[in-house]
Amino acid sequence: MSSRTLACSVAAVAILLAISRARALTPDEENTIDVYRKVAPSVVNITTTPVDRGFFLSPTPSSGTGSGIVLQDNGLIVTNHHVVADARRIEVTLADGTHWEAVLVGSAPERDLAVIAIEAEGHSLTAMALGDSEALEVGQKVLAIGNPFGLGQTLTTGIVSMLGRTIRTDDGRVLRNMIQTDASINPGNSGGALVDSRGKLVGVNAAIFSTTGSSIGIGLAIPVNEVKRVVPGLTSPWGRWLGWALAALVLGWMLRRIYR
């Protein structure tokens, strides 16, 4: 057999193997794999010290871990407020395994959103593309990526179970217009990404309903359109000062009416 014939035979075998592999995966599986490869680098693990409350709004004791989503390639990361609340130290682990100390940029407890920042010198960060949560439909496929129980870069899949849910957190705050999904979500997934089949962010995983502390198929996420509305005020110094000024004015007005 000539070298040319041998080369052609090897190429033919390689093509047949590729075709066989392609046929072994359904279009939906191929989509899931492609989306995961696209968005996983934009999801980070977050570790805080110390942790004084449950990270996932559930009775399960906190493990001190959560998740975050890279919003900008300059190191801005969005997560849940309850992931970083009262933390003295925040550490971020990127998809490449490197660890970076983070600082809190701003937090909105009433929306359970927070922004932290890292300076990952020499590392290229990939910001996640933002979708439109107003366009979601019940039954639509979604994928959740996060750090459940400290097991980073975990993927689960499901559908949008319902839209517009309202929940009350353990500390009495009311979160409205939440996305309900049956994609498996567990403690540590807080702050992780809920993405659509195009790999665009549609929600930030925030809470579960559970009698055991683990997933029973009822997870809740903050819509990405809420992230778009809240985050600019958290990252802008003027936005943060304006928030405090408005709060002071409201408090002053209330006190004046009480003691008038």
Residues known to be catalytic: 82, 112, 190
User: What angle do the packed helices 224-235 and 237-258 form, to 10 degrees?
Assistant: 90
Which residues, 6 or more positions from 32, have their beta carbon under 8 angstroms from its beta carbon? Answer: 143, 155, 157
Is the peptide bond preceding residue 50 cis, with omega within 30 degrees of 0? yes
For the chain, report the end-to-end CA distance as a whole number of angstroms.
103
Instruction: State the Cα–Cα distance between residues 83 and 68, nearest whole angstrom.
Output: 9
At 39, the amino acid letter reads V
CA 70 to CA 120: how far, in whole Å?
A: 12
Among 44, 198, 191, residue whose Cα is nearest residue 127 = 44
- Nearby residues of 183 by Cβ (< 8 Å), 6 or more positions away: 142, 143, 144, 156, 157, 158, 159, 194, 219
Angle (CA) 210-207-144 rounded to 5° is 105
